[in-house]
Structure 1
Amino acid sequence: MAHIPVNHPARTLYRVFSGLVGLYIFVFGVYGVVVTWGEPLFARDSTWVLGLRTNLAFALVSVLFGAVLMIGASRRTNLGHYMNLTAGAVFMVTGLAMMSVLQTSANFLNFSMSTVVVSLLFGLLLLATGLYDKIGTAEHAEAERQRRSHPVADSR
């Protein structure tokens, strides 16, 4: 993974972005739990929270996932880097999988097309933040900077 930037100057901004995604997911989940409490876990009714359709199962998963993303964004280690890459892939796969079952009984998380779009956007954002928030030693960052400014690298 030598092509992933180390100690990128904007890594704090990328961590803020991933933290905001985690905060939105957490707030969506908490509000969704409040709204859907007492309904069946995998209900398929028309319950909308913050612009997305949900059920109790999706709301509970969102609370957990949002908390994990916020914890990852708050850590100043590479844990957040790996969590963002993993979460981005999970969001992308989940969005595509749920889009393929939208109009079937397999839509157990009660997704709508707007939920799919938000899931794919969050996946792309988390993948992007995961690519730029890697932390390394100062020597590692300097070696990468030297490699990038090498005359042979500039001639390509």
Structure 2
Amino acid sequence: MSHIPVNHRLRPLYRALAVLIGLYLLIFGIIGAIQTADESFFSRGDTVVLGLKTNMAFSVLSIVMGVIVVLANLYGRNIDHFVDLGAGGLFMFVGVFGLIIIRSDLNKLNFSVATCVVSSLIGTALLTIGLYNRTGPPEQARQEEAIRVPGGKHPGHAAV
């Protein structure tokens, strides 16, 4: 089994941070959709929302991701764990991929360097949150904690 903490004592804080990230995405997307309503879907204009360039496509994707992250973290029950890990990895990938395509015709989401940096930061935060918000039965939590305690014995391994 992995060594991802189960029932971490700061889990409520991590879930709250994930909800705040989701709300940021949601607010960014809503404001962006309002400001880019008269532009084409994949416009490469100069519309800036909360310091980031955007277009209608990027705004809609931000709304969708914001809703997914907020709902998953409000629901919990390890759905938040998997959503945060997956969304974190996706945002990190998009941040790096955005830098690769930033000056090409493939930049359909109107990314700038700032957008790529923010995407990577959001990805790092969600990925870290996803590592610490897993839940499980108390027995599983005790087993995982025993691994981290000096002198703790892992089931199936000899004591060192």
TM-score (structure 1 length as normaliser): 0.95
Q: 1:150 Cα deviation (Å)?
A: 5.1
Q: 1:105 Cα deviation (Å)?
A: 1.2
Aligned-pair identity in percent equals: 40
Question: Does 2:83 align with 1:88?
Answer: no
Aligned to 2:156: none
Aligned to 2:50: 50
Q: Measure, in 2, the Cα distance between the counterparts of 1:5 and 1:152.
A: 15
Residues 28-77 of structure 1, C-alpha deviations (whole Å, 9 max, x = no match): 00000000002100000111001110000000111111000000111131
Question: Does 2:26 align with 1:26?
Answer: yes
Unaligned stretches of 5+ residues in structure 1: none
Aligned to 2:4: 4
Q: 1:151 Cα deviation (Å)?
A: 1.4
SS of aligned partner of 1:151: coil
Count of equivalent residues: 155
8 Å Cα contact 2:146-2:152 kept in structure 1: no
Question: Does 2:101 align with 1:101?
Answer: yes
Aligned AA for 1:9? R
Question: Does 2:123 align with 1:128?
Answer: no
Aligned to 1:14: 14
TM-score (structure 2 length as normaliser): 0.92
Q: 1:149 Cα deviation (Å)?
A: 2.2
Q: Measure, in 2, the Cα distance between the counterparts of 1:143 and 1:127.
A: 23
SS of aligned partner of 2:46: coil
Aligned AA for 2:54? T
Query: Whose helix fraction is larger, Structure 1's or Structure 2's?
Result: 1
Where in structure 2 are the equivalents of 1:135-154 lying within 5 Å? Answer: 135-149=135-149, 151=151
Deviating beyond 6 angstroms after TM superposition, the runs of 4 or more aligned structure 1 residues are none
Aligned AA for 2:45? D
Aligned to 1:73: 73
Q: 1:152 Cα deviation (Å)?
A: 6.1
SS of aligned partner of 2:139: helix
Question: Does 2:59 align with 1:59?
Answer: yes
8 Å Cα contact 2:5-2:145 kept in structure 1: no
